[in-house]
Amino acid sequence: MLLRNLNISTGALQAGCELCLLGKKMTLFITGLCPNRCYYCPVSAEKMWKDKIYANERPVSTIADVYREIRESGATGTAITGGEPLMVVDRVAQYVKGIKGVFGSNHHIHLYSGFPYLKRENAHKLFQAGLDEVRFHIIATKGVEDSIRVASEFSWRVGVEIPALPDLDYLEIAKTARESGAKFMILDEYEVNEENYFATTMRQKGHRELLSVSQNHIQDIVKKISLVIPVHYCTVRSKYLIQYRNRLVNSFRAKKITNAVLLDDGSTLKKVGRSSVRFLPVFGTPVYEDL
């Protein structure tokens, strides 16, 4: 077991995780439609259950908009999420095939899904389009393990990814994942935000200490899971201090911003009139802060 990049890992990092840490994954929110009702879902009200598309939190209307975001963010990979991407399989296949066609076969694309009973014909459609990796949200609903079995018939990477909730039987989940064909497991430190706070606190009866798994406990959990399947635990600190910072740096370089200085945290310092202002290069419209 290794403690690295503020995370905990066993075995080699998955390609999708490696690119995320480097800030080189663009997030493609392909739809807000979803058949599941997970109480811990962090998706915002403006997206949830609405058939909208976003690239790095920016609304897009055409696949050309997605290509532009990939270029401007300096991404060498794409993470497809939702909602539930498998509710719009044809759209996903179209976008995967298009991205691969423009940016090449080495542009790594992975997809998150909590969809039960995946049809083999749909899995084949995504495989043929060029999808590299599928991560199943195995705790979303009954039947997701059947989707893992179907996906495992193809020669892409198949794993599971779930939030590290405090009341899960992790060892049993790991065993089910492995028996279904998953090759790895990702645990994400659970984030309570404004979208899931009420449902989460009601479920835990207001006990804040029950909202997340402690660092010592998660290390024990990872050790046990690693005896069943390779596992990676991704922390909130890693996402904000490493991934997000690297994403800002990549965006600064990709956009070739001039007359500005890149700071250690990934933000940019620029002179505007008599003021020095700081802005985040990842956004289309800079967010200025007077210094």
| C-alpha R_g of the chain | 19
CA dist 240 and 119 (Å) reads 36
Amino acid at 164: A
Which one, of 47, 165, 43, 30, lies nearest residue 111 by Cα?
30
Q: What is the DSSP letter of 75?
A: -
Average confidence (pLDDT) over 65-80: 96
State mean pLDDT over 194-199: 57
pLDDT one-digit tens code per residue, 119-161? 999 999 999 999 999 999 999 999 999 999 999 999 999 999 9
Q: At what angle do helices 89-103 and 63-73 cross, to 10 degrees?
A: 50
Residues 56-63 have a mean pLDDT of 94
pLDDT digits (tens, 9 = 90+) for 74-128: 999 999 999 999 999 999 999 999 999 999 999 999 999 999 999 999 999 999 9
Count, in order, helices (H) and strands (E) of the chain.
10, 15
What confidence score (pLDDT) does residue 95 get? 98
240-264 confidence digits (pLDDT tens): 888 888 988 898 889 888 888 888 8
Is it the case that residue 200 has pLDDT exceeding 90? no
In the chain, the amino acid numbered 231 is V
Averaged pLDDT score across all residues of the chain = 87
Ranges 2-6, 225-229, 264-268, most confident: 225-229
How many percent of the chain have pLDDT more than 70?
86
CA–CA separation, 138 vs 145, rounded Å?
6
Read off the tokens for 279. 């802005």
Select the more confidently predicted residue: 192 or 222: 222
Query: What is the model's pTM?
Result: 0.88
Do 29 and 53 contact (CB within 8 A), yes or no?
A: yes
Mean pLDDT, residues 39-57 taken together: 90
Greater pLDDT, 250 or 278: 250
Domains recognised in the chain with CATH numbers: 2-249 (3.20.20.70), 258-290 (no CATH)
